[in-house]
Amino acid sequence: MNYIDKVRTVEKVYKRKPVLIVSAPGRADFLNTHQDYKGLPVVPVAINLRTYVFSLGAEKDKFIIDSLNLRKGGSRYRDKVPLKDISLVRGKWFGNYLRGVLLAFKEVFDFEPDKGLRIVIYSDVPIGSGLASSAALEVAFGKMLDEFYGLKLSPKDLAEACFYAENGICKIPCGRLDQYSAAFGEAILLYPKPPVKVEKLPLKGLKLVVADSGIRHSVADIHPRRQSEINRGLQELLSMPDVPERVKEKLAPRFDEVSWEELSLEELSPFLQRID
């Protein structure tokens, strides 16, 4: 379904014309998967599947947020979020990502709106496909807040706030890869270790094809598991008596405390095969 068809669908379902429409792309993790949360450089590439956020106008004292995808699937699809005293709800709920963005904007930008919005979300980015559907949702919603309330955020401001929403507020142990890709678009070289740096990469004449493996992927599920495996391996390395002290000085019991940029595969290789 193209953009025009989406607009017409929203108008048909809600009998109203959107007053503002924004979107953000999903992404392919092109180089260095699972390196961003270790603070190492990564290369994401935005794809042509996007999450669209439609505003149907202002609401007096709350945000009313519908997922048209969930509505069409016959699932619970509406979240009502008060302007004050926002909190996450228990369990897996799409509205928590948006509540997280609202809480992050309040904390980071002193965002205290005097009116809410009537929002409809319609997304092409498949959930659980490894294409950063949650980040596309967060960034598209954050961009809607930016445009509607005139916040004048830079792409970096938007990306960092949405990263904080997912990582710091929703407590999903992601890195910065997904939110920065959604906010900047195209292809970027991201240095995620603060102070964060972003370099645009040229894509002229290059065509990338992304295939669906059919394997479900959830950041909330796979990242804690992978990080736990890394921590376990680090602790085994630190316990080996023959690992040189100069190498141990670069290691740590936790993945986010290691001096990764100073380590080489050559100095670790003799010991890696002995890890269970």
Active site residues per annotation: 178
| First vs last C-alpha separation in the chain | 48
Closest CA to 62 of 92, 9, 98, 21: 98
**Angle (nearest 5°) at CA 121 between 44 and 20:** 95
Residues 35/171, Cβ–Cβ less than 8 Å: no
Residues 54/127, Cβ–Cβ less than 8 Å: no
Closest CA to 145 of 115, 170, 182, 181: 115
- How far, in Å, CA of 102 to CA of 157, rounded? 14
- How far, in Å, CA of 233 to CA of 226, rounded? 11
Closest CA to 116 of 68, 90, 79: 79
- How far, in Å, CA of 69 to CA of 86, rounded? 24
- How far, in Å, CA of 100 to CA of 79, rounded? 13
Dihedral in degrees, nearest 10, Cα atoms 28, 30, 36, 38: 140
Helices (H), ranges, 61-212: 68-72, 94-109, 133-149, 155-164, 177-184
